[in-house]
Amino acid sequence: MDNSGQPQSDSGGSDRTTEPEAGKPQRPREVGGGILMGRPFGVPVYVSPSWFLVAALITWVFGGQLERVLPELGAARYLVSLFFAVAFYASVLVHELAHTVAALRFKLPVRRIQLQFFGGVSEIEKESETPGREFVLAFVGPLLSLVLSGVFYLGMLLVEPGTVPGVLLAGLMISNLIVAAFNLLPGLPLDGGRMLRAVVWKLSGRPMTGTVAAAWSGRALAVAVLVGLPLLTQAGGLGGEPEDFGSVDSLTDALLAAILAAIIWTGAGNSLRMARLRERLPDLRARTLTRRAVPVEADTPLSEALRRANEAGARALVVVDAHGVPTAVVREAAIVGIPEHRRPWVAVSGLAQDLKDGMRVSAELTGEELLDTLRATPATEYLVIEETGEIFGVLSTADVERAFVAAMARTPS
């Protein structure tokens, strides 16, 4: 799936690039990620609670099919159906791992893989640098699904048809074929949309042009799914019996089509919006967002430090040693928490955060490089320095977040 910063989901595998959150660290534990199942290749794999809903749905639907094909199973057919549901999502995980391995091969960090209601999501944190890499990163998922479909087909040749193994292998072969075909459709947020984006990017020389073309193709695809899927099922065009308009089955198909269309439409719109946001990210500059700061020694009373800052027109305080070397930055939140009448008796050292590795940032940082630097070392304030090593000022996480939100607000859908 699309690799340009949008939340997305699809039936059988996707990946996304997650837009860096301004000033926020890379979390060691994903809140709301679901149940942690493992860390293949060092990437955490989560199962969303919605997976259990779709697993129950697959178990029920596939169990009904087994009742017609293998009636002798009785109630045990639901146990076989549950095994199919787990095996199917294991195939989806392989699809996602293909994206993940390719991303890691291209040195693109992957935050996590999540298995959820309509398939899987690989959260890739950066854009591909070239259209060729973008194409490969998108294609490997459907390719692995096709390979799995072939493996299951070969397995069918080794077992008796009409048996439990035969039916399971046939179901997994068909489901993986459907996953591959669906993801190859040429529209974002599907893998085929990313492949289309890569092709247009290569021809035009502009990634944004590719994103626009693939996003609108995705929106057209959403409309086609919304209208075409119910018509196909009603006419028996997908291999089943024709359905009566207004029947329970036709209404179910229409609901499924509406859900899929909404997911594709939303994913395409998010892809476009995040791509436009990325064009605005270079406007985030450490130099322009940095607050002017005055140096003060550790034993300086807060009231005196604030007086010096006001005289200099500064909005931040940097604690320095006797040689003028910065050792800490005074936290704005701590200053606000000190009543004015107590400030003459409070030294700035008690309100300061020692400068750790990563809390000294270059004044030349911009865009995603700036956000990545801040996320690598969580803090509320950072010391901004010139290339010569001189103090330029203090960068507040809150200022970066406000600038980021403002850029998002200016980005059209």
Q: Give the residue numbers annotated as catalytic, written as ranges.
A: 96
Amino acid at residue number 298: A
Closest CA to 28 of 40, 14, 41, 42: 42
Edge-to-edge strand ranges of the sheet holding 35-38: 15-17, 119-124, 110-116, 45-47, 35-38
**Cα 265 to Cα 162, 217, 239, 260, 297, distances in angstroms:** 40, 10, 27, 9, 57
3-state SS track over the chain = CCCCCCCCCCCCCCEEECCCCCCCCCCCCCCCCCEEEECHHHCCEEECHHHHHHHHHHHHHHHHHHHHHCHHHHHHHHHHHHHHHHHHHHHHHHHHHHHHHHHHHCCCCEEEEEEECCEEEEEECCCCCCHHHHHHHHHHHHHHHHHHHHHHHHHHHCCCCCCHHHHHHHHHHHHHHHHHHHHCCCCCCCHHHHHHHHHHHHHHCCHHHHHHHHHHHHHHHHHHHHHHHHHHHHHCCCCCCCCCCCCHHHHHHHHHHHHHHHHHHHHHHHHHHHHHHHHHHHHCEHHHHCECEEEEECCCEHHHHHHHHHHHCCCEEEEECCCCCEEEEECHHHHHCCCHHHHHHCEHHHHEEECCCCCEEECCCEHHHHHHHHHHCCCCEEEEECCCCCEEEEEEHHHHHHHHHHHHHCCCC
